[in-house]
Amino acid sequence: MFSYYFNIALVYILLGFITAVFFYFILKRDIFGRFWGALIVALIGSFAGGVFGYIFDDLIRQLTMVNGSVNIFPPLITAFICIWVFSNLSEKQKKDD
């Protein structure tokens, strides 16, 4: 039983670390607290996502199979990413004007 929860915690920590490295070193985002601030926020987000996933597991399972065969998460996530990119480009364009 311990190893089950230990493995889950390790996955969350690894995902948080990878996210912090991605945003701080690869995207070079200016984050309060630099890398350590990004790591703390990413770890909190990773564990919060795990808790939300556990709480809403039934809802997520139902949403992954709408009408028995359609997974709505890939198009939903892609739509949010496209809007995020578009909003960032729009903000940069407004700043240039």
Q: What is the tens place of the pLDDT at every residue in 9-20?
A: 999 999 999 999
Contact 71, 64 (CB under 8 A): yes
pLDDT at position 39 over 80: yes
Average pLDDT, stretch 21-34?
86
Average pLDDT, stretch 20-41?
88
CA distance 60 to 70: 13
Q: Calculate the average pLDDT of the chain.
A: 84
- Predicted confidence band at 31 (pLDDT cuts at 50, 70, 90)? confident
Average pLDDT, stretch 71-78?
78
CA distance 43 to 46: 5
Which DSSP string corresponds to 40-56? HHHHHHHHHHHHHHHHT
72, amino acid identity: I
Q: What is the tens place of the pLDDT at every residue in 40-65?
A: 999 999 999 888 888 988 888 887 88
42, amino acid identity: A
Q: Which residues contact 13 (CB under 8 A, 6 or more apart)?
A: 43, 46
Q: Of 29 and 10, which is predicted with more confidence?
A: 10
75, amino acid identity: P
